[in-house]
């Protein structure tokens, strides 16, 4: 890494970030304008391999957001935190699976039957469309919630396993629980903040280096980059931290 903190190989302002690092970084696009989202995504594609579409962008642009981001070379993480009766979740996930998402969140609070229905629908939709199987992610506790009792995360991890999820969404502080109870599931960690960044509404946050070193498979990165004075420099710092954690591990 250079003295300026950019990843090794960066030349003339461009970044050379190893694919194994980019695949571990998901860019949060929490805006209500697809053009603005694509502009941000395009400027940061050298650092992020996954784009996260949440409620705001999906409500504004719908399935077009997924196709447009895939055209830019991103995998798409659709974060809708599905939670309803099993039949409704199954049917909705069948539709979403056919859109080409790579990840979809379902809230583990919905229980085993709901998760199983969602997973089945997601896989069926992708299969009917001739697409690779997406990964269903069981959301445990939001990183903005610092009031959940200690037993909640372990219980929801178990529910996600029984419900057939392929991964978990949880705070970096809960990664040990994930390793103990669900070692085969992917570990997705939001609430990532660079040192010195505003914490906003994140009560259970982590730096990118700490989360990567603790075993996060996918780090979800938003305002610490997108609201930075220099988003490209912030993205480079995140990528360099993850790369350094990988070398140290």
Q: What does the H/E/C string look like for 110-143?
A: HCHHHHHHHHHHHHHHHHHCCCCCCEEEEECCCC
The strand pairing partners of 35, in sequence order, are none
Per-residue pLDDT at 4 exceeds 50: no
Per-residue pLDDT at 201 exceeds 70: no
Catalytic option among 81, 84, 131, 200: 81
The strand pairing partners of 219, in sequence order, are 25, 189
% of the chain beyond a pLDDT of 70: 89
Mean pLDDT of all residues in 63-81: 98
Instruction: Identify the CA nearest to 189 among candidates 149, 139, 236.
Output: 139
% of the chain beyond a pLDDT of 90: 83
Residue 202 lies in a domain: yes
Per-residue pLDDT at 9 exceeds 50: no
Per-residue pLDDT at 182 exceeds 60: yes
CATH number for 216: 3.20.20.70
Is residue 148 classed exposed, middle or buried when 0-12, 13-18 and 19+ CB atoms within 10 A define those classes? middle
Residue 41 lies in a domain: yes
Instruction: Identify the CA nearest to 115 among candidates 153, 151, 166.
Output: 166
Query: Are 97 and 131 a contacting pair, CB within 8 Å?
Result: yes
Residue 211 lies in a domain: yes
What is the C-alpha separation between 154 and 108, in angstroms, rounded? Answer: 11
Query: Are 234 and 194 a contacting pair, CB within 8 Å?
Result: yes
Residue 2 lies in a domain: no
Q: Give the confidence band of 246 by pLDDT, cuts at 50, 70, 90.
A: confident
Residue 224 lies in a domain: yes
What is the per-residue pLDDT for 6? 40
Residues ≥6 apart with Cβ < 8 Å to 148: 141
Tokens of 156: 């929801």
What is the per-residue pLDDT for 1? 33
Residues ≥6 apart with Cβ < 8 Å to 125: 93, 94, 95, 96, 97, 98, 99
What is the C-alpha separation between 191 and 220, in angstroms, rounded? Answer: 7
Per-residue pLDDT at 197 exceeds 50: yes
* Model confidence pLDDT, tens digit, residues 117-167: 999 999 999 999 999 999 999 999 887 767 667 789 999 999 999 999 999
Mean pLDDT of all residues in 176-198: 92
Q: Give the confidence band of 7 by pLDDT, cuts at 50, 70, 90.
A: very low
Residue 3 lies in a domain: no
Active site residue 52: no
Higher pLDDT, 10 or 233: 233
The angle, 0 to 180 degrees and rounded to 10, between the axes of the packed helices 231-248 and 34-44 is: 50
Residue 7 lies in a domain: no
Q: How many folded domains does the chain comprise?
A: 1
Question: Which domain, by its residues, includes 165?
Answer: 19-248
Residue 10 lies in a domain: no
Q: Give the SS3 label for residue 48.
A: coil
């Amino acid at each position: 890494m250079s003295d300026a903190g950019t990843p090794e190989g960066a030349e003339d302002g461009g970044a050379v970030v190893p694919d194994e690092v980019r695949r571990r970084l998901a860019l949060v696009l929490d805006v209500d304008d697809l053009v603005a989202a694509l502009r941000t995504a395009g400027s940061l594609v050298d650092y992020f391999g996954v784009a996260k579409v949440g409620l705001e962008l999906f409500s504004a642009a719908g399935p077009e957001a997924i196709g447009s981001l895939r055209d830019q070379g991103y995998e798409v993480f659709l974060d809708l935190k599905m939670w309803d009766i099993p039949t409704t979740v199954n049917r909705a996930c069948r539709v979403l699976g056919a859109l080409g998402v790579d990840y979809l969140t379902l809230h583990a609070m919905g229980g085993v039957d709901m998760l199983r229905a969602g997973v089945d629908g997601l896989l069926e939709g992708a299969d009917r469309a001739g697409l690779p199987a997406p990964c269903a992610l069981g959301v445990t506790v939001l990183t903005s919630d610092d009031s959940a009792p200690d037993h909640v995360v372990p219980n929801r991890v178990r529910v996600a396993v029984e419900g057939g999820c392929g991964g978990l969404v949880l705070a970096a502080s809960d990664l040990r629980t994930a390793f103990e109870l669900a070692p085969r599931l992917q570990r997705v960690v939001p609430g990532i903040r660079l040192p010195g960044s505003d914490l906003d509404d994140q009560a259970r946050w982590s730096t990118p280096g700490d989360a990567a070193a603790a075993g996060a498979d996918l780090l979800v990165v938003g305002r610490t980059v997108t609201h930075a004075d220099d988003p490209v420099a912030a993205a480079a710092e995140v990528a360099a931290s993850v790369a350094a954690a990988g070398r140290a591990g």
